[in-house]
Structure 1
Amino acid sequence: MAQDNGTVVGQFILLGFSDLPKLQGILFAIFLSIYLSILIGNGLLIFLIKNDPGLQTPMYFFLGNFSFLEICYTSVILPRMLADLWTQQRTISFLACAVQTCFFFILGIAECFLLTAMAYDRYVAICKPLYYPLIMNHRVCVQLVVASWMTGIPVMTEQTYQLFSLNFCGPNKINHIFCDAPPLFKLACGDTYKIEVSVQVVALFFILTPFLLILASYAKILTTVLKLPSSSGRSKAFSTCFSHLMVVGLFYGSGSIVYFQPKSSSSEESVKVFSLFYTTVTPVFNPLIYSLRNKDVIAALRKLFPK
Structure 2
Amino acid sequence: MKFIGYRTLKTGIGAAVAMIIAKELGLEYSVSAGIITILSIQSTKKQSVIIAVQRIGAFILALFLSIIIFKLLGYNPLAFGVFLLIFIPLTVRFNLDQGIVVSSVLITHLLVQKSTELFWIWNELSLMLIGVGVALLLNLYMPSIEGKIKEDQNYIEEKMKEILIHMADTLKNNDFSIKEDELVTSLEKRLHKGRNRAYNNFNNFFLLDTSYYVQYMEMRIQQFETIKRMREHFQRFFMTYEQTIMIADFTENVANSIYEENTAEGLLNQLNFLRDEFRKMALPSTREEFENRAMLFQFLNDLEQFLLIKHNFKKDVMNGNE
What is the TM-score with the length of structure 2 in the denominator? 0.29
Q: Which has the higher contact order (CA 8 A, sep 6+)?
A: 1
Q: Which has the larger radius of gyration?
A: 2
